[in-house]
Structure formats: structure tokens, C-alpha cells
Chains A and B, each alone.
Chain A
Amino acid sequence: MIDKKKYILSLENIRKTFPGVTALDNVTFRAEAGEIHALVGENGAGKSTLMKIIAGIYSPDNGSIRLGGNIVEISSPGKAQSLGIGMIHQELALVPYLTVGQNIYLGREPHRYLKAFIDWKKLYNMAEEQLGALKLEVDPKTFVIDIPIAQQQMVEVAKALSINAKIIIMDEPTSALTDKETRILFGVMRSLKEQGITIIYISHRLEEIFEIADRVTVLRDGLHIATSLISDLSQDDIVRMMVGRELGDLYPKNTIPQENCILEVKNLSSGKLLKDINFHLNKGEVLGISGLIGAGRTELARAIFGIDSFDSGEIFIDGTKVSINSPGEAIRMGLGFLTEDRKEQGLFMGMSVRENITIGVLKKFSTFGFPSFRKLKILAGKFIKQMNIRTPNVNQKVKNLSGGNQQKVLIARWLNLNPGILILDEPTRGIDVGAKAEIYALIDRLAGEGVGIILISSELPEIIGISDRIIVIRQGEITGEFTREEVTQDKIMQCAAAGGRYAS
């Protein structure tokens, strides 16, 4: 028998079912005091459910939870807080129009005068102390909306610490952070660990896990697969356990770009966002656009796709100068744009998989304005099969799918339109390694069919792995261009951060 006292937190034989799904089946999870414990698994493996049980959002159907050796029942998020469990959600849960200090002590403000008034002075002093402990240089009186995402993330950490959390759950905290910001977060995590705080760390980025975690637990399809010291495993071991099969080469590259140029951007400028951007894209080429978050990559894509107007510059498609004033026009010219934010800018969450896939081709399948729903369903079914979208049927609402499958639905929508030029903005953000591999394979296949692809990505291994050519943007300017053969992570980072024009 394992000495249960050794663990600060142990969940034994947890089972949780939702209508039609067993999210967790007999899962055991044990965390030691003062360790960083990574939790990995594909989307839908049960990570979030398990964490929500620890954070008091769900209660398990079966099984027991021990905290410091004692059986506890975590019946609500408030209870979890009072037990010293803090959770930092993937989507930040801060109130944008309140100050940093107000957010940290939301609902727990210090009072004075018979508890009738908030003691603002005390609140901001306490907040300052918390932020100072994290070496975070931000005025607690700043509004949350005015600080960058990375600092917001830190405010969440400060909030968790302010409840004297002994266990902090972090759900994909780095997905919106730049490399530099990730470093800072890791520094904070290490110092928390030294103070004896346990961190449960969920991430899809295996490199990060190897860098920061002490131990790792792998879940797959609601089952506990393994818990091990990270030093005993290789990345391949973890991937194999996560997907339950061997993955081939993660970045397939079987195609070479053709000679003819399908898209050319000349002297594109837009205020401070974009400065004199020049580049071209060939048929069948994968052009990577790298750079830090906020460097102007998404802005460039939006300008080309007709979402935002720009001050000056020209765009040529197949050698003809075009003027694109709306996404509708861009689509008619054969462009597609997979946006970075699936939920806000891509999906119709309350609508079905079929409706999401076929929204762009309704006209094509209509006679006198009335579409053939039968044909549309067959079409959607074809994409579901071809792209291996995991859904019970075409009528399933998209909000019930996992992140990776939602992304595939969106990609299917664009493929439906047969674009000649496809812009993919962070196509693999927040999705698991299995779905990632499928998306990379798809990009390679599309390039082989002659589609020109612009890939915007913050993940250096990804952009280096699948691009034929990479341009780097910093503060709205192109600061470097590399071919597949010459590119390295260092070269990209040098152009992205330092800004020296890299002679290649």
C-alpha cells in the first residue's frame, strides 16, 4: 500500500460521468507537496474534468479526495479556496474593468467601519505586497484591461497566492504568452515550489513540461495511463502514452513549392501596426510568419483579408492588382482565413457541425435561395470522415466538441470553399498532439495540391517544421527572411526580439 500521508493531495478511484460519456474512469492522481506535477493528455482525455473536481466545480460520482491525509469533500469553488486550492483557468477569469487590486481581493475585500466600507488603502497595500512577492511591476490601481495578457496571468497567480493556496492548478497558462513571458512565469513557478507550494500544470507543450515539471501524469480517454518522474521519460514516451499509438513524423514535408507567384504584397503600411511590408507567396508554398505576439502578424492577415483597411500599399493575386474591402470579397478572390480565436471569431457555437462546415457554400447548394439540406449533410459527413472529426453525428452542436475537433470543423469550412490562398493564424493553439499531427499532414497535402499557405505561429518548432520559407515581423516591420534550409530558432528569435535586420 502506498503511504498516503506522503501526498498533499490524493484522488483515489475517481469516476465521473456525463450524459453519454464517461469522462473519468477509476482515475487516481497523487501530488506531493512542493512539486510541479504536469498533467497531460489529448483533448477529451479528462484533464479538465479532473481539475474541475479538485477545484470544486464538479463533484465526482465515485472515489475519494484526501488533502494532507484527511478525506475532504470539495463541494464548491469557495470550499476549494478555503482548503487552499487555487485554480488559474485557461481563459482568464479576471474582471477587465476593475483594477488589479480589486481583482485580487474580489469578494474578499478588507473592510472597516463595521464592515460597511471597503478599506481601499489596506486593499491596495496588500495587493502591492502580493505583486511584489511575484516581482511583478504593476500598479495595483491599473485596470486589468490595460495590462498585457502575461501580466494578467500573473495577477491570477497573485490572486491564488492571496488565498494562501497550497495547491495551484494552472490550465495551459502559457498558451497566450510569448517566450519571454513564459520564462518569467516559470521563474515564479520555481520560487513557489521552493516555498513548498504544489503546482498542477496542464499543458500541451511537451518542451515546457520537460523544462519545468518534476513528475507527470498521463490521462487517455478518461483513464489513468501513467505517473512517472519526468526524468525517466522521453517526449516520445509521453506522446505514445497520450495517443496510444505511434505517431509518424510530426512534421511531414513531402512537397516543394511551385514557381508561380499567387500573392504579392507591396509596400503595405497601416499606421503604427504595419510598416512597408513586402512579400510574396508561391503556389504550393508554406510561408511561415513568425514574431512575438503583438508584432503585427494577425494585423497583416486581417489587412490582406479585407477586415481592416490600410493606409497604403498594393496587393496582387495571380499578378492582378486587387482591392479587397471585406471578407466576402476576399473569399470570392479565393482567400481563406482561419482566425486565431476559434470561439470569438470562427465558430457558431450554438449551431451544428453541419451548419458550421457548410455556411460558406449554402449559395452553391441552393436553388432559388433554398439549399438542399440533404446534400449539405452528405457534404459535411464527407469532411467529418476525411478529417477524422470526432462527433456522434452531423447534428451535434459544435460547442460539445473538443478544441481539436472544433478546429478541424473550421478548417473544413475553409476547405469547402477551395481557397487558392489559405491564411492559418495559430492553427494548433490549444489542441492536442494527435490533432496537431493531422493538421500538419493536411497543410502538407494542401500545399501539394497547389494551395499557397500563410502560417502564422508562435510555436517555433512548428513554424520551422512545416514552412518552406519564414519571414519574421517585429513591431510591424519585416526584420528577417529565411529559407527552410537556413532557419534556426536562434535566428528567428534574434529578428523577432532584438530587431537587427538579419542578412541571409
Chain B
Amino acid sequence: MKKNTADYSERFGLVIAFLIMIFALSLLSDRFLTFQNILNVLRQSSINGIIAVGMTMVILTAGIDLSVGSILGLTAVITADLLHSGIPVVFAIFLGLLLGSSIGLVNGLLITKIKIPPFIATLGMMTLTRGLAFTFTQGKPITGLNEGFRFIGTGMAGPFPFPVIIAAIVFVAGYIFLKKSRHGENIYALGNNETAAEFSGIPVKRYVTLVYAVSGFLSALAGMILVGRLDSAQPIIGQGYEFDAIAAVVVGGTSFTGGDGSIWGTLIGVLIIAVINNGLNLLDVSSFYEQVVKGVVIAVALLLHRYAKKKN
């Protein structure tokens, strides 16, 4: 398979760092390793996880998607408004997801057809969609949503929160797509060397457009879960989520230069960030420090990654 020693040592390095963190936290707080708390961590990480799967694909093409948080915000308020208008829940969800995918598609077309660099295109889209969310709601939250809809965010499937199930499905689907399908291999190839990919006959533009559409779709999906849980769609919702998603992908070892990284790395990255948040909460650390600690963890992860790379 694709796995070689370099991949292993990188991945193991991450897993070991993660296990050490868990061990340390379990010593520091007896509430940490409880079933309830673990479910809590998983539930909290499901939203970032879903977004990060799309972000992984985008970064594998050597791109970036800064608009995920804003797409989440806009699709959330519009879906909430659709629900208020009384249309069936399934239909509202469908339209919300369609909207998210379409915005992502526009991102992709700006990048591939008009050749705006991904950073600029999605930065513009981030501001634009956030502005639309404010305009649409006139700055007011939309609350009091349909019970059926709220199940997405609050429901349980057996012992597991429904958001965790959705996130798990997204991760498995992302893995299968990237590592088992020919499309995944083509995406790795174009991230590795776009010119070579094009000259080999890979429809590079189509794939790049696709990953941004997928990223938009997953952002909208994450938004549904968040709104379902909060029972409120505020125009400001999802602000800054792009950073958590990018952080998770980067901590998970996916390279910004494209073509190198994996969904499993991202999963660990998402969990590491969630555990940091959770651990700092349990230890009653001021939320001001939270950002600082996250920043340090990202820096350390990058250094470790670089070290593992060099060694191989």
C-alpha cells in the first residue's frame, strides 16, 4: 500500500503525543476519563471534524478554504428561516446543503476558471457570505426550531450522540474517497504536481472545483448540527471555525504544499484540539489561556512533523 516507514513514524508520533496527553489529563482530573466526558469530547469535536474532512481535501490540492465558517453561518440562518416558513424538515435540510455546496462550487470556479488564488477567493467569500448572513437576519438570531430538526444536533443513536455518528460517517466516507477511489489518487497526484497531473490527462480543474464544493457541503452539514444543538441560528455562528479546521488538518500532518496527508491524521488533529479544550475546561483554566495553549500545540505539532520528515 501507500504506507511506508515515513508515514508510519509520522502517524505514530501523533498518536503517541495524543496518548500522552490523555494519560496526563486522566491523572490531573478524575472526571476526564469518564464515559460521559468522552462522549462530550466526541460531540464537541464532531462539528470541527466534519469541516476538517473537507479542509483536508482542499489542503491536499495545495489550496485553502477560509470561507467554511461563514458558509456554515449563512446556510444555518437560511435553513433556520426555511424551517420557520414551515416547509418540511428534510426539504429545508436539503436546500441548506445545496446552498453550502453551491457556495463551495463558486469558490472552486473562482479558483479554477478566473484563477484567483484560493486564499484570496475564499477570503472574499468568507466576508461576502458573513455579510449576507447579517443582512438576511438583520443581525437577529432565529430561534425556536422544529423538534425534528433539532434531533440532528441533540438526538441519540443508542448511547451515541447523533452528531458523532454523522461525523464518523463523514470520516469513513472521506477515507474511502481519498484512499480507495481513483479520484482520491488523482487528487493526491494533482496536489503533488499540478502540471504533471494535467499533462497526464487528469481533469485537474474539475477535481479542484469538486473539493471546494465538498468543503462547502460539509460546512453546511456542520452548521445544521450546530443549530440543532443550540436551537438558535445567529448570523455570527461559526465565526473563526476555519482556524480550528485548518489547525486540525495541520496538526494531523497534512502539508500545505499539497499532495501529502491523510484523513486519519486529521482525525487525530481534531481530537487533540478537542481534548485540549476539554482538558483546560476541566482544569478550570481561564479561557484566555486556551488560545495560547492551542497555538503552542500547533507549533509543536508542526515542528515534530518537520522533524519526522527530515529524518526520513
B200 neighbours in A (Cβ, 8 Å): 327, 331, 359-360, 413
Q: Per-position contact with B for A342-354: 1 when CB-CB < 8 Å, else 0?
A: 0011111111100
A205 proximal to B (CB < 8 A): no
Q: Is B138 an interface residue (CB 8 A)?
A: no
Chain B CB within 8 A of A355 CB = yes
User: Which residues of chain B from 172 to 202 have any CB-CB distance to chain A below 8 Å in the complex?
Assistant: 180-183, 185-186, 188-189, 192-193, 195-202
Structural contact, B199 and A339, CB atoms closer than 8 A: yes
Contact check, B199 vs A346: say whether CB atoms are below 8 A apart: yes
Interface-forming stretch among A236-244, A365-373, A383-391? A365-373
Q: How many B residues touch the partner, as a band?
A: 20 to 34
CB neighbours (8 Å) of B2 from chain A are: 352, 355, 395
Check if A337 is an interface residue, CB within 8 A of chain B: yes
A362: interface (CB < 8 Å): yes
Residues in B with CB closer than 8 Å to A349 are 192-193
Contact present for A370 and B193 (CB under 8 Å) = no
A279 vs B199: C-alpha distance in the bound complex, in angstroms? 23
Q: Which of B4, B180, B189, B193 contacts A395 (CB 8 A)?
A: B4
A380 to chain B, nearest CB (A): 13
Tell whether, in the assembled complex, residue B189 and residue A327 are in contact, meaning their CB atoms are under 8 Å apart.
Answer: no
Contact of B1 with A by CB under 8 A: yes
Given contacts A344-B195, A348-B259, A395-B1, contact A370 B180 (CB under 8 A): yes
Q: Give bound CA distance, A7 to B259, whole Å.
A: 48
> Once the chains are docked, how many angstroms separate the CA of A326 from the CA of B205?
12
Chain A nearest Cβ from B222, distance in angstroms? 25
Given the complex of chains A and B, what is the CA–CA distance between A359 and B180 in angstroms? Answer: 14
Q: Are B201 and A360 in contact (CB under 8 A)?
A: yes
Q: Does A363 contact B (CB under 8 A)?
A: yes
- Also in contact, A373 and B201, with CB within 8 A (given A347-B193, A362-B185): no
Residue of A nearest to B257 (CB): A350
Closest to B195 in A: A345
Answer whether residue A277 sits at the interface, using C-beta atoms and an 8 A cutoff.
Answer: no
Q: Are A328 and B203 in contact (CB under 8 A)?
A: yes
**Cross-chain contact B181 with A397 (CB below 8 angstroms):** no
A307 at the interface (CB under 8 A from B): yes
Among residues 290 to 345 in chain A, which have CB atoms less than 8 Å away from a CB atom of chain B?
305, 307, 326-328, 330-332, 337, 339, 344-345
Say if the beta carbon of B81 comes within 8 Å of chain A. Answer: no
Instruction: Compute how far the CA of A238 lies from the CA of B87 in the bound complex, rounded to whole angstroms.
Output: 83
- The size class of the interface chain A forms with chain B is 20 to 34
In the bound assembly, the distance between CA atoms of A90 and B293 in angstroms comes to 45
Return B190 CB to nearest CB of chain A, in Å: 9
**Which residue from chain B places its CB closest to the CB of A348 in the assembled complex?**
B192
Q: Choose among B181, B192, B203 the residue that contacts A351 (Cβ–Cβ < 8 A).
A: B192
Q: List, in ascending order, chain B residues with CB within 8 A of A305's CB.
A: 199
List residues of chain B with CB within 8 A of the CB of A345. Answer: 193, 195-196, 199
Output the least CB separation between B202 and chain A (Å). 7
Q: Which of B150-183 contact A (CB under 8 A)?
A: 180-183
Whether the Cβ atoms of B196 and A351 lie closer than 8 Å is no
Question: Whole-angstrom distance from the CB of A55 to the nearest CB of chain B?
Answer: 20
Chain B contacts of A363 at CB under 8 A? 182
How far is B119's CA from A246's CA once the two chains are assembled, in angstroms? 56
Per the bound structure, the CA–CA distance linking A362 and B195 in Å amounts to: 18
Q: For residue A352, which residue of chain B has the nearest CB? A: B2
Q: Which chain B residues lie closer than 8 Å to A327 at the CB level? A: 198-201
B199 near A351 with CB under 8 A, answer: no
**CB neighbours of A369 from chain B (8 A):** 181-183
Which B residues between 276 and 308 are near A, CB-CB below 8 angstroms? none
B192 engages A359 (CB within 8 Å): no
CA distance A366 to B182 in the complex (A): 7
| B-contacting residues, A388-403, CB 8 Å | 395-397
Contact A346 B196 (CB under 8 A): yes
A348 with B201: CB separation less than 8 A: no
Return the chain B residue nearest A373 by Cβ: B1
Give the shortest distance, in Å, between B307 (CB) and chain A (any CB): 16
The chain A residue with its CB closest to the CB of B198 is: A327
CB closest chain-B residue, reference A355: B185
Min distance, Cβ A395 to any Cβ of chain B, angstroms: 6
Name the contact of A350 in the complex, choosing from B195, B202, B260 (C-beta under 8 A): B260
Contact B259 A351 (CB under 8 A): yes
Instruction: Please tell me which one of the listed residues B1, B180, B182, B196 contacts residue A348 in the complex, with CB atoms under 8 A apart.
Output: B196
Contacting residue for B4 out of A307, A344, A397, CB 8 A: A397
CB neighbours (8 Å) of A337 from chain B are: 199
Say how far B267's CB is from chain A's closest CB, in angstroms: 21
CA distance A345 to B200 in the complex (A): 9
Q: Output the nearest chain A residue to B186 by Cβ-Cβ distance.
A: A362
Min Cβ gap B151→A in Å is 32
CB contacts (< 8 Å) of A360 on chain B: these are: 200-201
Question: Complex: how many Å from CA A371 to CA B177?
Answer: 11
Q: Determine the chain A residues whose CB is within 8 A of the CB of B4 once the complex forms.
A: 352, 395-397
How long is the Cα–Cα vector from A337 to B196 in the complex, in angstroms? Answer: 11
What string of 1s and 0s marks CB contacts (under 8 Å) between B264-279 and chain A? 0000000000000000
Rounded to whole angstroms, the CA-CA distance of A327 and B201 in the bound complex is 5
Q: Which residues of B contact A351 (CB under 8 A)?
A: 188-189, 192, 259
Taking a contact as CB atoms closer than 8 A, the residue among A331, A370, A395 that contacts B181 in the complex is: A370
| Most B C-beta atoms less than 10 A away, residue of A362, A363, A366 | A362
Write out the residue numbers on chain B whose beta carbons fall within 8 Å of the beta carbon of A307: 198-199
With contacts A346-B196, A397-B4 taken as known, whether A359 is within 8 angstroms of B186 at the C-beta atoms is yes
Report whether A362 and B192 are in contact in the complex, using a CB–CB cutoff of 8 Å.
Answer: no
Determine the distance from Cα of A339 to Cα of B182 in the docked complex, in whole angstroms: 24
CB distance from A156 to the nearest CB of B (A): 26
Would you mind naming 25 contact pairs between A and B with Cβ atoms under 8 Å apart? A307-B198, A327-B199, A327-B200, A328-B203, A346-B193, A347-B196, A348-B188, A348-B189, A350-B259, A350-B260, A351-B188, A351-B192, A355-B2, A359-B185, A359-B186, A359-B197, A359-B200, A360-B200, A362-B186, A366-B181, A371-B182, A373-B1, A395-B1, A395-B2, A413-B200
Q: Given A348-B197, A352-B2, A371-B181, output 8 extra A-B contacts at Cβ < 8 Å.
A: A305-B199, A330-B201, A331-B200, A346-B199, A350-B260, A359-B186, A362-B182, A369-B182
| Chain A residues proximal to chain B, CB less than 8 Å | 305, 307, 326-328, 330-332, 337, 339, 344-352, 355, 359-360, 362-363, 366, 369-371, 373, 395-397, 413
The 7 closest A-B pairs by CB, nearest first: A362-B182, A348-B192, A331-B201, A328-B201, A369-B181, A345-B195, A371-B182
